Chains A and B, each alone.
Chain A
Amino acid sequence: MVPSEAGAVAAPRRGLSWRDLGGAIRLESLVVLVLLCLALSLLSPYFLSVANALNILLATSVIGILGFASTFVIASAGIDLSLGSVLGFGGVVGALAVNVLGLPWPFGIVLGLAAGAFCGLINGLLVALAGIPAFIVTLGMLGVARGAALVLTGGQPIYGLPAPLVWLGQGRPFGVPVPAILFLALAAVTHFLLSRTRFGKYALVIGDNENAARATGIHVARLRIGLYTLSGLLAGLAGLLFAARVNSGDPTAGISYELTAITAAILGGSNLFGGRASVVGTLIGALIMGVLQNGLNLLAVSSFYQQMAIGSVLVLAVWLDQWNRSRGRA
């Protein structure tokens, strides 16, 4: 990667980009999203409506929040493969706290978030202090967190959550689903965190060049621990939302969601090798997948064609991005 591509920090950008948003958001992904919406509006009379737009936001919220989590880790040239499992673990811990231990509902939220953050903290400690590659550490956590969720529940979903928790997943104040509100609010908060604070900017710097970051006095280990903990915390939150939506803490919730989350970040223009990442980009990436899935459902496309369509759009979007990037450099 060309060093100046760390441009999300300060350097001028190449190719088309939307500098106003401060991050490395690529116009290409927005173009793909808009084209997709246009095509689906023509193909299905049900697509273009406020209610359907809210449905898409609701459907994208869990994956999108995981996408934000992966964006921070990817910014620092790391990877978090445990997201889907930590989601399952967080949801199960939250459900157990209220359903089996009988604690008041706020404890369910706090313990679910804490369970996610704890997994992330362990990931961070092992990556930053023990120096084990993030790929291995988080792959290990993928197994451990999923196993822990299964052990805690005996493999059975924990059914039935108190009304305030269910509201978190199913409520619709003013017709807007609560997960959609949380999703957009988190997009704003995490975007600010990544692009406007020292924490986020330093994450991009260590992703671009760790040695240089160290030389300038950035405490790399502490930052990494923070990044993985944040990733786990967000996965725990996604797990609580998942559980609230389906009114049960399911130990198998979120299997392989990490791959979709990472795909959302890459679709949004984040560089898998660090140094360039944007929350708004990930938001768009997640929406591309959400819109596509929604459209395929509205059109009642059969399962085999769905997989082909999703795979094709992913490759097309990344290819457009690469093409424009190389053109900008020439």
Chain B
Amino acid sequence: MQRRILLLAAAVSAGLAVPPAARAAAPTYAVLLKTLSNPFWGAMAQGIAAGGKASGVAIFQQAAASDQAAEQELNICNTMLERKPAALIASAINSSNLLPCMKQANAQHIPVVDLDANLDPAITAKAGVKVAFTIGSDNIAAGAKAADFMAARLGKTATGPVLVIEGLAGNITGEQRAQGFRTELAKVAPGLKVVASLPGDWDANKAANITNDTLTRSPGLVAIFAANDTMALGAVESVFAAGKGGKIVVVGVDGTSAGVKSIKAGRLSASVAQLPYLEGIEAVANVKKILAGGTVPSVIHVPTVLLTQAVLKAGTDPLLQYVK
């Protein structure tokens, strides 16, 4: 039994060690994603594949098992460098877990791309890691866009309690979206007061529970902002189940396919769509520019688009083609 396991392990490691020399001459970009078990990253992977096809480069893409598996992601990253890719496009699970691998990539003169802005520039500089460019959506601006929509829908002089459902405690993306929302709301509609800002952990069921609990506390709730669409869907279904459907403005972020369907069905009020598909295409295109000797900005912001029933019905916004 033990011998069989050893044999298996040997076979697996031999498989990993096979050099990619036999592969086609097209340069290979190594792409490392946080996870694929999430619509956002699924769309990103599709965009990267499309970008690879458009640029005529091969894409070698891997992902960690979950967006919590920080150490596993580092191991995958190290293994990817063994294949000597032309570039490393990586979305780190946190601001430090991939730094050793990125430093190694620097030493091998492989350009490193911070995909979806997960790195902290200060920490990266301290570690002596050089990043070719950072590409991602501005999460603070996404939260602010949701606040602007709410103020437009309810009126700038509207008053009433508002609930914020945050992401996983301590996660930078969720915190930036919530923070952007709160700051902008205080500016554009000071009568709308955030009465609770609670962690939904990206979980639809938890968001539904938080909504119920907050409705108990503040029955006059006028609006809910959730840091992603999964939680926004949990919240809006809870609102409808409580018989307050259509009376409370619910806004999410991401523009997932389920979110879009819910908006079309007249349940979810709006979603600030990030465009991971476009981001994937742009990431590959800019890497190609660098490798050809060109220069690109050090931070590239991918636009967001506000999805509402009206916007979806009109279908004229050119960015809608990237909403997957």
- List chain A positions with a Cβ less than 8 A from chain B: 44, 46, 49, 51-52, 55, 58-59, 62, 143, 146, 150, 154-160, 166, 169-172, 177, 242, 245-248, 250-255, 293-294, 297-298, 300-304, 306-307
Contact = CB atoms under 8 A, between A and B. Distances in A.
B39 interface: yes
In the A-B complex, the 8 residue pairs with the smallest Cβ-Cβ separation, listed nearest first, are: A303-B199, A170-B241, A159-B258, A303-B169, A297-B213, A300-B196, A59-B209, A155-B42
B94 interface: no
A226 B176 CA distance: 48
Given A160-B261, A300-B195, A251 B37 contact: yes
Nearest to A158: B258
B106 interface: no
Contacts, number: 123
A157 B257 contact: yes
Contacts of A55: 209, 212-213, 216
A252 B217 contact: no
B241 A248 contact: no
Contacts of A46: 216-217
Nearest to B265: A160
Given A170-B237, A172-B241, A304-B169, A58 B197 contact: no
Contacts of A250: 204, 230, 258
A51 B39 CA distance: 35
A254 B204 CA distance: 9
15 contacts: A143-B65, A155-B36, A155-B37, A156-B39, A156-B258, A159-B257, A169-B237, A172-B241, A245-B205, A245-B234, A245-B241, A253-B205, A300-B196, A306-B198, A307-B169
B234 A297 contact: no
B208 interface: yes
Interface in B73-131: none
B38 A252 contact: yes
B237 A155 contact: no
Chain B interface mostly helix, strand, loop or mixed?
helix
A52 B196 CA distance: 17
Contacts of A157: 39, 230, 233, 256-258
B284 interface: no
Contact of A246 (B38, B196, B208, B213): B208
A300 B198 contact: yes
A156 B41 CA distance: 10
Contacts of B41: 155
B195 to A, nearest CB: 7
A150 B37 contact: yes
Contacts of B233: 157, 159, 246-248
Contacts of A297: 196, 198, 209-210, 213-214, 217
Contacts of B42: 154-156
A326 B180 CA distance: 53
A295 to B, nearest CB: 9
A302 B256 contact: no
Interface string B182-201: 00000000000001111100
B21 to A, nearest CB: 32
A251 B233 CA distance: 14
A49 B216 contact: yes
B205 A246 contact: yes
B262 interface: yes
A158 B256 CA distance: 11
B37 A146 contact: yes
Given A46-B216, A156-B42, A297-B196, A246 B204 contact: yes
Interface in B158-196: 166, 169-170, 195-196
A297 B213 CA distance: 6
B204 A294 contact: no
